[in-house]
Amino acid sequence: VKVTVDQDICQGHARCAVIAPELFVLDDMGHSQEVGGEVPKELEAAAERAATNCPEGAIKLS
């Protein structure tokens, strides 16, 4: 599983980084970017939680 953040949609609520700090980094404006690469098995549930809790629906799992 990989996570991606759509930069055009992200509004910088930073919820994803609170839920899964291992998977997202925030820029100076609080916008999120995925750390990248394959999500470790033990973080898959957190990745799904982050995607579900993003108010903008900016996080995709593939």
Phi-psi region of 37 (alpha: psi -120 to 50; beta: other; left: phi over 0): left
Beta strand pairing status for 32-34 and 59-61? unpaired
Do 19 and 55 contact (CB within 8 A), yes or no?
no
Least Å distance, CB 46 to ligand SF4, is 13
Residue recorded with tokens 């394959």: 38
Please select the residue that binds ligand SF4; options are 3, 39, 47, 59, rule is CB under 6 A.
Answer: 59
The verdict on 46 binding ligand SF4 (CB under 6 A) reads no
Please select the residue that binds ligand SF4; options are 4, 15, 60, 61, rule is CB under 6 A.
Answer: 15
- Looking only at residues 20 through 39 of this chain, which bind ligand SF4 when binding is defined by CB under 6 A? 32
Please select the residue that binds ligand SF4; options are 3, 4, 10, 23, rule is CB under 6 A.
Answer: 10
